[in-house]
Amino acid sequence: MRTSTCSPTCGERRRGGGRLLAIGLLLATAVVALAPSAVRARAGTTPLPDRLTDREFWGLVERCSEANGFFRSDNLVSNERLFQNVVPALRQFSRGGVYLGVAPDQNFTYILALEPSIAFIVDIRRGNLDAHLMYKALFELSADRAEFLSRLFSRRRPARLGANATAGDLFAAFAAEAPDEGLFDANLKAIDARLTATHGFALTPDDLEGIAYVYGMFHRFGPDLTYSSSTQGNRGGGRGGRGARGMPTYGELQTTVAEDGRDEAYLGSEAHFQQLKALESKNLIVPVVGDFAGPKALRSVGEWLAGHGASVSVFYVSNVEQYLFQDGVAANFYANVATLPLDDQSAFLRSARGLDVLDPIRPFLADFTAGRIGAYADVTRRGRSE
């Protein structure tokens, strides 16, 4: 059983966050001098494209994806309440590299902080691909944050929400609006048309059903959607979490500021929204179905990146390693990671014991190969002061 995001309690056990953020900042500052290796294409390769055609985008999705897999919950929303605290460290990395991530929209905030040339979101559940395709369509269809949230929640756009509205203003306004069935039906048709007619993506009936399911959850719960809101089986055959307490809502995740007082979430400003909209419009956020320990997804992404002379800057793995060790397949994952194009800047970003930690990938792999990492507890101890 391999997860796609943080376990239901890890996002709530935030202790010593400032100390680990400082560690992350030191790491990022130390590697920023290596920036050129993450940006320039290697000799004899083609640089990363400024955009992907619709055919190239869908070809990558199909080329890299594995069969739909299993996890116990739908993971529609993160449960890592203080995930923004690592953003200052990510801003110290070079621009224009490659981002890899897992699970839901938390990736968008990390992508904006890192400003990569391209991003891949790899998740074991086909439902996560469906969720990211829904987001892609909504970003492209919406002119601004207020329109985006109106479409996402299927609620009428409140008056007087301009470009300077704070995230708090936006979510307070939409919390007062009731869900609208007519808007839901019209928006779902627009989403499907955007993906199939405009882009020409070969979505299966199951994909369309999966998008309708994800979209229906946002319609039902609106800004109050949490990690544990789901009460139905997920697209991989598991059951959504119910009864877990203390989960942050989608609205809280978008309105909670980082330790430095800045709102770094992707809906925290109109500029953030427009940056993300541009990336989605250029097909530069690519969702892939794949098991981290599987034979195809990560290796296929790595082969494509190597062909473009690009190196991975940050790989957000949340706490997936916890489940890989439980299933006895962690070695398969690290073997896959070793095939990715890496440089001395490349780092894991993980949520370990509820804390966001940056960990250089090459030294980690060396330690694993040398037998110094034999359990998930060894992973979580890395970067922590004793």
11-34: pLDDT as tens digits: 333 333 443 443 344 344 333 333
Supply the pLDDT for residue 93: 96
Evaluate if residue 225 carries a pLDDT over 60.
yes
Evaluate if residue 244 carries a pLDDT over 90.
no
Pair 13, 354: CB distance under 8 Å: yes
Supply the pLDDT for residue 352: 72
Question: End-to-end CA distance of the chain, in Å?
Answer: 31
Half-sphere exposure of 266 (CA within 13 A, CB side): 25
C-alpha dihedral sign at 35, 37, 38, 42: positive
Mean pLDDT of 39-48: 63
Least confident of 74-83, 106-115, 132-141: 74-83
Least confident of 17-31, 139-153, 197-211, 239-253: 17-31
Evaluate if residue 307 carries a pLDDT over 90.
yes
3-class DSSP assignment, residue 29: helix
The residues with which 179 forms a beta bridge, in sequence order, are: 155
Strand locations in 232-345 (E): 285-289, 312-318
Strand locations in 211-311 (E): 285-289
Q: Across the chain, what does the average pLDDT equal?
A: 85
CB atoms within 10 A of CB 377: 12
Supply the pLDDT for residue 205: 97
Half-sphere exposure of 217 (CA within 13 A, CB side): 26
| Residue partners of 112: CB distance under 8 A and separation at least 6 | 264, 266, 272, 275, 276
Mean pLDDT of 152-177: 95
In this structure, what is the dihedral angle of CA atoms 83, 84, 85, 88, given to the nearest 10 degrees? 140
Nearest to 114 by CA among 94, 129, 132: 94
Supply the pLDDT for residue 336: 98
Supply the pLDDT for residue 245: 59
- In the chain, % helix, strand, coil (3-state, to 5) comes to 50, 10, 40
Pair 309, 36: CB distance under 8 Å: no
Strand locations in the chain (E): 98-101, 118-123, 285-289, 312-318, 347-352, 355-360
Position 139: which residue type? F
Pair 147, 176: CB distance under 8 Å: no
Supply the pLDDT for residue 173: 97
Edge-first strand order for the sheet with 285-289 is 285-289, 118-123, 98-101, 312-318, 347-352, 355-360
What is d(CA 75, CA 229) in angstroms, rounded to the nearest whole number?
9
Evaluate if residue 283 carries a pLDDT over 50.
yes
Mean pLDDT of 204-230: 94
At 243, is the pLDDT very low, low, confident or very high (cuts 50, 70, 90)? very low
Supply the pLDDT for residue 381: 87
Evaluate if residue 235 carries a pLDDT over 80.
no
